[in-house]
Amino acid sequence: MPLLRPDPTFYPSPRMAMKAPRERLAYVAAMNPKAALRQGDTRPDAFLVVDVDPRSSDFGKVIQKVDLPYSGDELHHFGWNACSSALCPSSPHPHVERRYLIAGGIRSSRIYILDTKPDPSSPKIVKVIDPDEVKDRAGYSRLHTVHCGPDNIYISALGSATGELPGGLLLLDHDDLEVLGRWEVDRGPQRIAYDFWWHIAYDIGITSEWASPQHIENGVDLDALMNQQYGRRLHFWDLRRRKHLQSVDLGEGWQMILELRPAHDPTKTYGFVNAVINLQDLSSGIFVWYRENDHWKVQEILRIPAEPAEEDQLPPALKPFKAVPPLVTDINLSLDDRFLYLSCWGTGQLLRYDVSDPFQPKPAGSVRLGGIVSRAPHPKVGPVNGGPQMVEVSRDGRRVYFTNSLYAAWDPIFYPDGVKGWMALVHADPDDGLTLDPEFFPEIPDYLRPHQIRLEGGDSSSDSFCFP
């Protein structure tokens, strides 16, 4: 049934979205690594609903676990069927609901649709799209980012139908939630895929590069990494004509170019991306992309160095280097484009930078939790492993939620004792620093590892805005 007024969670501009009411629920994708890696345990992945309302007696608890009907999907990223882009003036349709969560298995390529109505705290699986249907219709597999576009739902995929390259984008019809097909008309030189977003008011799409499925699904392929066969480039696209415009190489030694965080303000033409590792010194880098004379350029703005460590503290793969790489694997940008959050999964840090001037980031707080060597404690449970990984910022920018698992096949390389899944909350004061919430530490079922978090009503990486 269509609404009479626009969905109240849609905002014309990011400024207005920052004044949205506080989220009460968080949805968390959680996967069973043993099922993903076919290690005997076939319990399926699950969606967790976490109560994040401080007035609730269940604050900080998992209040619902929605088991998937199949085993071994490896839930990873997910998104909404509709968001603020429904207000975009070229095809406005704001009387639809932000209601369905769309999640693709990064291993199975299956798509799940969850209905968060009528009871948002107890979503139900209402549709499952078979992996073969995704592969047949779109020619892609290994599903990743989900974004609600003005015309359809966009999903990025790491691999082709046969699990090779190229990976790319596919479209899901946002009315009947059927796979429409491949997005690209002309992909140019793009082969490797990972994340995807846009400068929606400039008709510019952006994609990043992780690696070919064969280089990730069985762990890190060191030979391929040393030969720089992992991703190193950004791609810029003409969103209207679905045509590749330009590739930008981040430079010698950089490998795995992951999360794309364009400025939320649609008048701006810059954004941030993390490069996970530099082969020379194991550091991570943050780059800003920007437009100059109709050309896209990148500039390194931050370098997070590796931390020296004793050999016996390190997992086998890192012993020869005598250092812990920071492994900045996720970043997130507050809706006012002011604060950039960096997850250092290796060193166990959450860093914040003031990026009001995107070319001159200023440190603005940090929190330590977990880490390969540091195992920094949480006030509620003591030392933890894993480190800040998937990070999500509330719309008002005052709360930052994060989880600690990266990817089933890679977790044991860096945390051989087995990542014990957790989720944490940091309070972010714009004028002061970051404070870890001492109470918020939901108990996550032992066999599950949490990954992406989506907040009720939207968050800082769920919506696109057509108005400044």
Partner 1 sequence: MQNATDFWIYLTLFALGAYHGINPAMGWLFAVALGLQERSQRSVFLALIPITIGHALSIALVIGILVVARQLLPTEFLRFVIGIILIGFGLIRLWRPRHLRWVGMRLSKWELTWWSFLAATAHGAGLMVTPLALCLPQGQIQQTATLFNLPLGELIPLTGSAFLAVIVHTVGMLTAMALTAGFIYARFGLALLRQWWFNFDLIWGLTLILAGTATLIWQ
User: What DSSP designation does 55 have?
Assistant: T
On whether the CB atoms of residues 143 and 171 are closer than 8 A, the answer is no
Residue 16 CB, shortest distance to partner 1, in Å, is 6
Residue 123 CB, shortest distance to partner 1, in Å, is 24
Which span (64-72, 196-204, 286-294, 339-347) binds partner 1, by CB under 8 A?
A: 196-204
Which of 4, 40, 292, 357 lies at the binding interface for partner 1 (CB under 8 A)? 4
Residue 202 CB, shortest distance to partner 1, in Å, is 6
Strand partners, 153: 148, 172
> Considering the rule CB under 8 A, would residue 177 count as an interface residue with partner 1?
no
Which span (197-205, 325-333, 386-394, 423-431) binds partner 1, by CB under 8 A?
A: 197-205
| Spatial CA neighbour of 123 closest among 68, 76, 162 | 68
User: What is residue 417's three-state secondary structure?
Assistant: coil
> Considering the rule CB under 8 A, would residue 8 count as an interface residue with partner 1?
yes
The amino acid at 144: H
459 sits in which H/E element: none
Residue 313 CB, shortest distance to partner 1, in Å, is 51
Quote the CA–CA distance of 411 and 403 in Å, as a whole number: 13
Strand order in the sheet with 179-182: 140-148, 153-160, 168-172, 179-182
The amino acid at 361: P
Contact track, partner 1, 80-109, x by CB under 8 A: -------xxxxxxxxx--------------
* C-beta closer to partner 1: residue 130 or 238: 238
Residue 112 CB, shortest distance to partner 1, in Å, is 24
> Considering the rule CB under 8 A, would residue 11 count as an interface residue with partner 1?
yes
Quote the CA–CA distance of 413 and 324 in Å, as a whole number: 12
Structure tokens at 459: 């968050």
* C-beta closer to partner 1: residue 150 or 387: 150
Which span (8-16, 26-34, 375-383, 449-457) binds partner 1, by CB under 8 A?
A: 8-16
> Considering the rule CB under 8 A, would residue 196 count as an interface residue with partner 1?
no
> Considering the rule CB under 8 A, would residue 3 count as an interface residue with partner 1?
yes
Residue 245 CB, shortest distance to partner 1, in Å, is 13
Which of 35, 75, 155, 239 lies at the binding interface for partner 1 (CB under 8 A)? 239
Residue 267 CB, shortest distance to partner 1, in Å, is 6
Phi, psi values for residue 131, rounded to 5°: -55, -40
On whether the CB atoms of residues 173 and 109 are closer than 8 A, the answer is no
Residue 374 CB, shortest distance to partner 1, in Å, is 45
> Considering the rule CB under 8 A, would residue 5 count as an interface residue with partner 1?
yes
Tell me the number of residues near partner 1 by CB under 8 A. 36
Quote the CA–CA distance of 339 and 327 in Å, as a whole number: 19
Quote the CA–CA distance of 176 and 174 in Å, as a whole number: 6
Burial of residue 424 (CB within 10 Å: 0-12, 13-18, 19+) is buried
On whether the CB atoms of residues 300 and 289 are closer than 8 A, the answer is no
Residue 91 CB, shortest distance to partner 1, in Å, is 5
Which of 201, 286, 318, 333 lies at the binding interface for partner 1 (CB under 8 A)? 201
Per CB under 8 A, contacts with partner 1 among 252-271 are: 266-267
| Spatial CA neighbour of 234 closest among 271, 184, 279 | 271
| Contact partners, residue 361, CB within 8 Å, separation at least 6 | 286, 301, 302, 340, 353, 354, 355
User: What is residue 318's three-state secondary structure?
Assistant: helix
Which span (2-10, 137-145, 425-433, 446-454) binds partner 1, by CB under 8 A?
A: 2-10
Residue 149 CB, shortest distance to partner 1, in Å, is 7
* C-beta closer to partner 1: residue 86 or 314: 86
* C-beta closer to partner 1: residue 15 or 65: 15
Quote the CA–CA distance of 342 and 348 in Å, as a whole number: 11
> Considering the rule CB under 8 A, would residue 168 count as an interface residue with partner 1?
no
Which of 53, 130, 151, 300 lies at the binding interface for partner 1 (CB under 8 A)? 151
Quote the CA–CA distance of 333 and 360 in Å, as a whole number: 15
Phi, psi values for residue 248, rounded to 5°: -130, 125
* C-beta closer to partner 1: residue 7 or 73: 7
Which span (67-75, 146-154, 390-398, 403-411) binds partner 1, by CB under 8 A?
A: 146-154
**Alpha helix segments (H runs only) across 94-145:** 131-138
> Considering the rule CB under 8 A, would residue 246 count as an interface residue with partner 1?
no
On whether the CB atoms of residues 324 and 347 are closer than 8 A, the answer is yes
Neighbour tally for 189: CB within 10 Å:
10
Which of 56, 71, 121, 152 lies at the binding interface for partner 1 (CB under 8 A)? 152
Which of 13, 56, 246, 366 lies at the binding interface for partner 1 (CB under 8 A)? 13
On whether the CB atoms of residues 349 and 375 are closer than 8 A, the answer is no
Residue 175 CB, shortest distance to partner 1, in Å, is 7
User: Applying CB under 8 A, which residues contact partner 1?
Assistant: 2-6, 8, 10-13, 16, 87-95, 149-152, 175, 200-203, 239-240, 266-267, 466-468
